[in-house]
Structures are given as structure tokens and as C-alpha cells.
A and B are shown apart, each in its own frame.
Chain A
């Protein structure tokens, strides 16, 4: 009786597993359409809102947006304080005529002693606002119409659904693998049990299991065949040597090193989405041996007015499912904290905390490398060595930075001599000597030890 039970339980478990997998497949396949739908709804909602608010005002919000972006956006934001005050709600705070006058010539108003004007001038550290005499009252109305639109609520669909098997990431691979391993183990146990049961049946039924003629074990046969042993050991030695060499050669090579940085700086957003030139931030690469990690004041050139990333409702948004707007805004806040920037008062507190970045490209001290030689003189693109930085969310070491890698490039790369007076004489003489038109760096002497090691 016992054995019956046992067999039942095994088959039940197997059946349950099969059912589970079938269902999970179905569930996983559903997730994509759900999300697309959500995004669409969010857009629709935003559009409807825009239309509704625009009608309620006297100006044209669309035109106003254009004007605002070209003239005002460098100092003002609609909903938060920047160099100047937040403009949303300004029509409630001030008289329209007052606004017209202020925009056209604020300095005159302050000079005339207008109490409100002087107060706001003092509040913003006596920063004078540019005069815009070219704007008509209608233009100003347009701008006001734009800034008075209610602040769009963050799209509801953006918040990730909570719980359930429909979570956007799906079932992690590890879980699937673990289940598979479990199933396999079960099968092995089952096989073993079946074999055992059959044997017991056989013994109980008195059937004699017929043993085959005893053959020499395979390992013994192998050991006795000297030729095979020799060939195998040579093969193993070579293979071992190959892998040992490979292992030793990668010691100290940190290709792919991708450490977690104190501030999550996304090259994808800066160099990719916003197409900022590398040397805008890494300016010392032009003149110095180091490319330089930009100092925080360079960040603040832009981030003084960019305190948050655009959310998903924006067509040009940089946020995605892995990194949310909240995440990026948090990283910008870290920058503000480090540089000592108070967002609310738009001023520096003077309390700075230098950022301790983790260095990714570590050349040993005995190798001299000069960025300006490669960037300014040779005109090599940064990506040549650093890889597709504009696609990297987290910066990583793209090249092996080994000597062989350097040397290969020096052998293959032609020296850029055009228009450089320094090279005129040496190029003429050397190309005559080697009988070539273009010279590689190696022919110029870039393989000599002392050029990089001193």
C-alpha cells in the first residue's frame, strides 16, 4: 500500500508544476499592451487639460510658451523659484499694468521707487531683470497665459503597479532557473525511486536479474592505452596553459570596470540625449595630460536652472523604466548638497562637500599618458578609447588599457600632420626616407619605451 501512495504524490507534484508554468507564460505575455495603454491615456489627459486652460485666458498659451522659452526661461520657471521668482500665479499677485511696466523696464520702476518693485529687487539679491521694450502688451499676455496654466499633475500611469505577478520586470531569471533545478532534482529522485521499486518487485517476484558478462571498466581501459593517455595529457596541458595564460593576462586589466559612483551621473543623458560635447565638461583634455573630472561649478553652469528632469509626459524625457524621475531628481539634489546650493533661495550656502568619485581609468604610475596629445594634436574622438560613452548609463572602462592595446593603435594610426607647422620638416624628411605618403605614429617614434615610461 505504501508504494501506491508514494507514486501518487510524485505525479501530483509534477502535475502542479506543469500547470504553474503554463499559467505564468500567459501572465508574462500580457504586460506590454497594458503599459502602452497607460502612456496613451496620460498624454490624452494632458492635452485635454492644456486646451481647457488655454481657453480660459485672454492670451495664446502656445505662442506664450514660445516667447517664454526664448526670453524668460534662462531666469524664470513657471512653477518654481529660479534666478527670478516663479511666474505661476503672478497675475493674482500683481496688477496686469504693473506687470507690463515691469517687463518693459524694471530698472526704471526700481529707480522711481515703486515699493513692490524695490521689494522684489531686494529679495532677489539686487539682480536686475533685463528690460524687454520689444514686447507688446499682447505678447506679455501670451506669456502670462502660458505660465498661468495649472501645473500638470504627474501622469498617474507612470507610477509602477504594485504587487501581483504582472510586475513590469516579469519573473526573474533566477527564479525560473531555481524552479528548473528543483524539477530536475525531482526527476532524478523519481528515477531512483522507480528503479528501487522495480528492483524490489523483481526480488519479491523471485525474478533473477541477469548480469551481463563483466567488462573491463572504461577508466581502466583508458589508463592501459598509453597513446590515449599521452594525447589526452598533452591536450590537457595545452588547454590548461591556454587558460592559465588567459587568466594571468587579465590580472590588473579592468576592462568593463563599472563601479557605483557617489552620484549617479548618466553619460547617456548628458552626452547622448542632450548631445553635450565631451570637452565642454572635460575641458582640460584639450591642454592637459588629464581629461579632468569636471569640478562641480561646471555642473552648476547648467544645473543652476535644471533642478529636475522632465517627466515621462515630455516627449524628450530621459527617464525610463529603470531610472525614474524621482531617482534622477534625487541625484541632482545630491549635486546641490555637494556644491552647497540652496534651491529655495537660489544661492550658495558656502558649505561644500567634495564628491569622491571612484576612478575608473587607472593607468599605472610608470606609464605617462597625455590627453591633449591625442585629443588636440591627433584629433582622436574620445569614443575611440572610451567607447560609446553617450550610450552608457553608468560609465565603465571600455578598453583594456594594456600596453599592447596602445602599441597596436600607434602602429595603425596615421599622424595628423596637415596644417601643423611642427610636423612640416620632419614629415617631409621621414616620408622620403620610408617612401610613404602618410606616417604612422610608430614611424614617428611612438613605440620607443622612453616616450611613455619616465
Chain B
């Protein structure tokens, strides 16, 4: 029986004859259908040649053709090798140790190859230095298959053969007639390359070599040189540190070449009531600051005062909380004695020297085994540009750098370039500099090259090709060998050259390991006086009363911008802002309000922000999008380098603004003026809810003091539910609606994530992308919350000074009014918040809510604990995603492979070569999610079965746990009682995400502990 009840849709309907109701009733569609545009226009109708009859013919034909075509299965061809190489077995992966050294990232890595194609980067566990690959290094395998790469050498833009290229260059080199020949290169840190350039100098007269680091560490290098007489950087082993005081150094990011996170993480795991204490003074919010026990936001000019205060040389300018924090840090350092360390990232020689002096007695700093991966000299680069403009440079050989894009005075450089007789650019792409160079020597990717890298004084790493060059390219060193008339191949040259430093290792062995330790050559410590020109050149500008202080930084995703054409990196959310596909000006809330700059949420994932014009001296950057960043020091702003590239970059990836013009004098700190510009920028964020709102059961956090003195129930309580007025733990079978399944036999996989060790670096996210063929969806889709990351790293700010404060505030709400206004306040992050990272992937619940709602049983549970997803069975109802409390399921709204609309790596033959053949490429309309790398666990089991052996702890890995160099992710079999993951599961810090839901996940977390101990 139908009801006569009338439902009012709005108040308007009450009015009886409201015109609005009338019009709405008439309008079937909200927006008018543009039929009139077509049908109403006689001309278009007549000019259209397709008649109704034709249309029907087409439809009929295509239907018939489609059904005919469907009658017969496609014929698949299979082409075996003619001569199969011994080491290749189709279907079995080979691993090769090699090294990335692109001038910004230096790392010893293992490359997984399948049928001769490199498909994944892994950490080289034999390496002692820089063995942990960061997100960019993990993504570098995709840059090998970049469609925009140069395919052969060119002269004046015309492709030529190498023979002609060599002949032309030789002729032109001879014609120099004593004019200067200059090499402008990245830091190679390669003994063989240095030797080669020397040999080149002896063949041609008047040769000089200028090393240029796109993002300079000049101040630190100068300071080290003045103290130790060698152009290098001090090395730090943070695992030995008890107290770490960082002043503006993002040492978990790219500070001084990076690679310190694994040592740092070791010291952060509380054991026997001890863990390291980390103070961070900084202007921008960095991942180092996010991990700190105590973070103080200060402007760069104040940061220098902090360094001086710590060195006992001044610091009178500090007031209030900052002064207090400095005193605390100082006291902690004194207590730690030789186990304390101070580091700074300020581009200021005085500050760098002060730090070296403070650390002189520290065990943490190692100056003997100094870092050699930054060699650039700002002075020499400036001098070169001047000389070029003066017309005294006869030939310029550029290798591995793109100065026309990345030099702050790029315009001068470009002008000077025209006055140079011979310009040869060794480039992988037709980038800004290559476009302006007469000769462009196409170089191979590092995975196609040979090389040796001296990472530190003692530690060497070797580079070997993992694939035959894809294009007609030749590496820089091979070209040099040819031009000095040496017939040797470069790998023979390296082999001879490093024979002396190999020690008792054989060449083959060193090549197999990828790394070796050379004979130690002690650094002579001569205390030089700094020359005054250098110190005046590298100094932090004094505080600017009117303007703002800008700190330029490099983002986790793009670094110096070398891999800007890599879609994986573009779509990697920034660990702090969780924004993809952009760089932006970070500004504190107070300053934003003062300048009338706004951020507003317009949709899930859709953040709109104002534009601002940023001006340094006479250089102005227009329309820089603004993000309000909690924790940004008042009076300071931040902007990432490496974006805004236009040449040899696919259109979709030409995003962001180029901040290099602001990088005056190679100083990351600049005085700027900011004014609001018109318009709104559309950001694509993957997380807009920034705070936990006192939900302490999502991220559990406590202090070292409570952790070591109070019982577990105080700081990591198991939630209870009431049954018959009796409290039961939520995990108790008494309150469970499911019957427990016996999982004690066979393997039972668990993944442990230690929130103390996770630095938020994002390497796991990219590793997951490359292992599991996760598609890139593009900026507009991310903005619609349709990102496909199987693994995300949630970042939460506290809305009070600390998360503890949040919990207290929430617990003390009194009445409805209080909680309504209170929760509203708690959505806002604090000005100086605590920050926490939490990697979240499918939790592989033993009592999975997704499995029970799937109408076609496409998702089901395996007895090994994994939640399986059968893509071919999925019909795309998305019930599972709705029912998932962790929101980790991802739906394929579109076909992301071989689709022009998503023109990323899966849309071209070259880019598809990176796909992992063991994992299905998902199609449109199916759900997907983290599989706990079942292809990897199955492979481990199969290998063990074939060898007839039991499986050891550590054999089982997932892509993320293998990529995690800080040891935050541990994967294994909890039925193996000897395993590390089992020990973690029994740890007091263990908890499950949303334990009270009762899903019994197979992923668990270890409570974050902060060391807030005061002396």
C-alpha cells in the first residue's frame, strides 16, 4: 500500500506557488543539455555529413565486426632467444649490485632484473655507507625507461653518428688555440673520472675542472676544508648518539647528501630505558623536525644565534622559549659528553665551523672517513660564468648538470654560453642546457653505465650496467677516453685504476658485492685560517625587519629536480604537506593571515590556496602557490627547489615554479618580500584532515619516562567492551561474533611497524609502486581522492603543543557545547605541533569487514594471514571499500594502462618495461589493495621447497619492509617463535590500529616513544 505521506524537499515548497519550485520541477537536468547548440544551429547540422541512416550503418557494422572478431582467440607469438645467455633463465630474476651517483643522490643499490630488464631497486645490504635507497633512488629505475631520453648524439639539434660527432669535436678542440677548456660537471666522486680528466688536461693544454652541485653544500665544505685541509664533509653515525641537536639541518632528508636515517633510527628504539634525544631548531617543517623530541621553530637568522649559543660564542639575541630550549639542549649535550652531536644546515661558514669545533670531541662525528659526495665550489662556478661572459673560455664541456635551469644567474650563464667557441653537453635529455649547446652527447642512464664512486674516504662503490644501452648513447667517460686517444673501454680503465685500492678483494668479488673498503688514507688536520672572502660570501643575511626570511629546501620527491619527468615521484605525496604534483610557499598561519593568504578545502583531496609573488632583491617569482604550514617559524617561509622544469619534460609533469632564480649566491637562506597575487591554486592533497583530534588509539604515543616506569596498561591499554556488565578485552573470543580460525599451523605473516623508527621518508611507497605495478593517476584524479597508493604514510599534527595535550583536552570536555566548540578547535593544527608519521596499508584483518560484504567472494582470507584479492572475480561494487575501517582499498575508476588519458609510464612501450611480470596489471572497474606482497612470500616458499630447506627468519619480505632502511618495518612469520616479528608482537609497545573495532589485523604498530627527559 502506498503512503500518502508528502515529503517536503525544501521550505520553498511550503509557499505553494513558488517560482523556484516551479522551475526546478521543469528542469530534469541541473545544467542545460546543449542540444540547441547542435540542433538549433542549421549550419552545423547541414555541414555534418553523417546522416541518421549512415549512423545506423556504422553501428551495425561495428557490432557485426566486434562479434566476428570475438569469435576467434588472438594468436600469441612467443619468441625465444637465438642464443640464450647463461645467466638468464626466463622467469627468474637476477640481481646486480650497482651504484647511483647522479650528483645529488649517491647510493649503493641492488637491481632486480627480469629477462634482462631492470625492474626494481633494492637496498644493498652489504654497503656500509649510503646503502639505504631513498624514494628517488627507488624511482630511478623508471627514469631509465623515460620516453624523453636522448636517443643519439646531436650537433645543432641534428642527430648524427658518433664517428662524425667525435671527428667534429676533435677538430674543434684542436682549433681552440690555447683558449681555456673547462669541464663543468656534477660531483662524480669517482677516482677514475678524476684521473681521466687529468689525462685529458695533459693532452690538451689549459684545461680546468669546475665541479657544480646543483644544491650546494659550499659553506660546510669550506668550513671542513679550513679545518681539515680537505674538501669533504664530516660523516656522522647517529646510532652512537645520545643527544642530537640539529640546527636547520634536515639530516633525515637530503642534508649533506642524506643517508643518515638508518643510523638515526637505530638509536631511537627505546631499550633498557634509553634512547637518543633529538632537539631540532628549524624554520621549515622538515621530516627531521617531525621526528624530533623537541622542536623549536625559529627564523634562519635566529638559528645562527642558536649555533653560536651552543658553541658558547654568543646567542644573546634569543629570547623566551627559544633561549630556554637552547639551555636545555646545551645541558643535555654536556651530560652526553662524547655521545652528543650538533649539526647544522645553515649556509654559513661561521656556523659550520662552530659546529665542527663543538663536535671535535664527539664519537658521532667521523672526519677521517669523510663524505666525498659533495665537491662543488660556488666560487668557481661564479668565476666560470664571469669568464664565459668575458669571452676567455674556448670550450665548455658540461656533464651531469643543467646550469641553464638550475643556476640562480642562469641568464648570465646563457649569455656567456653564446661567447664560448665549443659547447659540448653530456646529457640524458634535451634539457634547458642541451637545447643551447651545439654538441649534445647522449649519455646513458646509470643502469647502463660503468663507474666507481668513492662515497667516503674509505668506502667505495662500483657501478655496472644492468642492461645493454637502450639507445645509441655513450657515457661521459667513454667519450673522454676516445678523445684522448685511449682505446680502452671504461670498465677496463676502472679495473686498472682501482686495482690498488681493492686490497685483498678480487675485482669480480668487488663487482659482485658492489662495495668495498679501500685502504685508509688519513685526512691531514691542518687548522687553516678561513680566507675572508669566503666567509663574507657565505653568510646568513641579517634579520630583515620588514620582509620574510626564505629557506629553500629540496623535497623528498623531486630533490634537485633531476628526475622531474618521473611520474612516480611526482605523485609521491610530500611527507609533511601530503601534497602531490606541486611545490609551494610554506608559510605560518599568523603570517598568512597578515598577508591575507588563504587555504580552503573544497573537496576530499581538493585544497585551494592563494598565490603570492616572492621577491629577492630584483628577482621576482610570480604566482607561487601558498600552503599554510603548521610549525613554520613566524617571519619565515619555505620553498622547494627542483620544480618548474619545462624542457624535455612531459606536459603533465611541467608543474610547480622554478625556485632556483631565488637561490642567490648558492645560499638557501634569503631575505624576501611577499605580496598576495590574484587567483587560486588547485592543490592535489592526499590528506586534508591534519589532526588526530585526541584519538589516541590511532597513533599511540608516550614519553620515555612513562614508558620505562609505568606499566603497559597506563600507556598502551587494550580497549574493553562490556558484556553482561563485565569488561572484556576486545580481542577476547567472548565478545567476538566470528569463530576463530586456527592459524597456528604453517606460516602466519605479520608486519610490524615501529613508529619510533619510521622517519616518514617515503621509500616504501615508491618500492610498493614498483613492485606491485601501482598506476599513476595524475593530478586531477588525486584531487578527486582517487590516488592508487597501496601504502600511504599518514602524517598527523597535534592541535595542542603535544598529542598528550590533545588527549587531555578531549577527555576534559564538559557537556555538548564544550565538545562542539572544542572539536572544532581541534581540527586546527597547533602553530608548533608535534608530528607523527604512520604508514598505513591493508591491515590484512583476520576478521576482515571487507570479506564479509563482497557479493562475489572476490576478496577472501588465506590461512597464511593474507587478505586475498582476486581481481578477475571482482565486479566493482565497492562495498568492501565502504566497509573497510582503514580506507586502504583503491578502486580502478579507469583503465590506467594503455590509455591516452593517463599518459604515464604504463601508456608507452618503453615505460611498460618497468612492470613486474609477476603481478597483474589491473583493469578498469576492479578493486585493488596491498596484497602483503604475496608474490614475494610465495616465491620465498617455493625457493625453500625446491631447495628442501626450512625457512629462516628474514627470508620473508615485502617490498616495503625490504625498502625500509631504518628498520621500522619488519615482516615475518609469527609462527616462527624465533623471528624478529614475533618478538615485536610480544613487545609491550605493540598495538593494532583501531583495536576496538575487533578486526584483528595482521599489521601491528609499536607505540611511539618520545624522549622528553630533562636534565
Contact = CB atoms under 8 A, between A and B. Distances in A.
B91 A284 contact: yes
B948 interface: yes
Contact of B84 (A295, A340, A362, A376): A295
Nearest to B861: A448
B91 A296 contact: no
Given A449-B868, A450-B868, A284 B80 contact: no
Interface stretch (A31-39, A43-51, A321-329, A422-430): A422-430
Contact of B934 (A338, A433, A454): A454
Interface string B555-589: 00000000000000000000000000000000000
B80 A366 contact: no
Interface in A244-301: 252, 254, 259, 283-284, 287-290, 292-298
A419 interface: yes
B82 A338 contact: yes
A294 B79 CA distance: 10
A373 B745 CA distance: 21
A289 B742 CA distance: 31
Contacts of B997: none
Contact of A449 (B744, B873, B941, B946): B873
A91 interface: no
Interface in A285-343: 287-290, 292-298, 338-340
B711 interface: no
Interface in B862-899: 862-864, 866, 868-873
Interface stretch (B362-370, B546-554, B914-922): B914-922
B80 A294 contact: yes
Contacts of B863: 445, 448
Contacts of B30: none
Nearest to A284: B89
B82 A354 contact: yes
A200 B78 CA distance: 71
A25 B81 CA distance: 53
Contact of A377 (B870, B931, B945): B945
Given A425-B950, A430-B746, A445-B746, A450 B862 contact: yes
A106 B946 CA distance: 48
Contacts of A294: 80
Nearest to A259: B75
B521 interface: no
A451 interface: yes
A358 interface: yes
A366 B742 CA distance: 29
Given A365-B920, A453-B868, A290 B82 contact: no
B871 A366 contact: yes
Given A368-B935, A433-B745, A453-B870, A422 B951 contact: yes
Contacts of A259: 75
Nearest to A352: B82
A156 to B, nearest CB: 39
Contacts of A290: 90-91
B76 interface: yes
B91 A357 contact: no
Interface string B74-117: 01111111111000011110000000000000000000000000
A449 B870 contact: yes
A295 B82 contact: yes
B979 interface: no
B73 interface: yes
B789 to A, nearest CB: 18
Interface string B940-966: 011011111111000000000000000
B73 A359 contact: no
Q: What class of interface size applies to chain A in its complex with B?
A: 35 or more
Main secondary structure of the interface of B (DSSP, over half): loop
B860 interface: yes
A10 to B, nearest CB: 45
A296 B82 contact: yes
A363 to B, nearest CB: 11
B938 interface: yes
Interface string A406-433: 0000000000000111111110011001
A288 B90 contact: yes
Contacts of B746: 426, 429-430, 445
Contacts of B920: 365-366, 453-454
Contact of A355 (B80, B866, B921): B80
Contacts of A365: 920-921
Nearest to B85: A295
A372 interface: yes
Contact of B75 (A283, A358, A366, A449): A358
B83 A297 contact: yes
A356 interface: yes
Contacts of A340: 82
Given A448-B860, A450-B931, A293 B921 contact: no
B336 to A, nearest CB: 47
B91 A289 contact: yes
Nearest to A453: B870
A370 interface: yes
A364 interface: yes
A264 B139 CA distance: 45
A28 B841 CA distance: 76
A340 B871 CA distance: 44
Contacts of A366: 870-872, 920
Contacts of B866: 450
B919 A454 contact: yes
B91 A288 contact: yes
A450 B870 contact: yes
A424 B951 CA distance: 11
Given A252-B73, A362-B76, A453-B870, A422 B948 contact: yes
Nearest to B951: A422
A288 B80 contact: no
Given A284-B92, A426-B746, A293 B946 contact: no
A445 B741 CA distance: 14
Interface string A436-453: 000000000100111101
A171 to B, nearest CB: 33
Interface string B751-767: 00000000000000000
Contacts of B79: 354-357
A422 B872 CA distance: 31
Contact of B80 (A295, A423, A430, A450): A295
A289 B942 CA distance: 10
A453 B83 contact: no
A279 B92 CA distance: 16
Given A292-B91, A449-B868, A372 B77 contact: no
A287 B862 CA distance: 25
Contact of B78 (A357, A377, A451): A357
A288 B84 contact: no
Contacts of B951: 422
Contact of A339 (B82, B864, B946, B947): B82
B89 A359 contact: no
Interface string B136-157: 0000000000000000000000
A297 B85 CA distance: 10
A453 B942 contact: no
Given A287-B89, A292-B89, 9 more contacts: A295-B82, A355-B79, A355-B80, A357-B78, A373-B945, A377-B942, A422-B950, A426-B746, A449-B868
- Please name the 3 residue pairs, one residue from A and one from B, whose CB atoms are nearest each other, closest first: A450-B868, A288-B91, A295-B84
16 contacts: A259-B75, A295-B83, A355-B80, A358-B78, A373-B942, A376-B946, A422-B947, A422-B950, A425-B950, A426-B746, A433-B745, A445-B863, A450-B934, A451-B862, A454-B918, A454-B931
Interface of A: 252, 254, 259, 283-284, 287-290, 292-298, 338-340, 352, 354-359, 362, 364-366, 368, 370, 372-373, 376-377, 419-426, 429-430, 433, 445, 448-451, 453-454
Interface of B: 73, 75-84, 89-92, 742, 744-746, 858, 860, 862-864, 866, 868-873, 918-921, 931, 934-935, 938, 941-942, 944-951
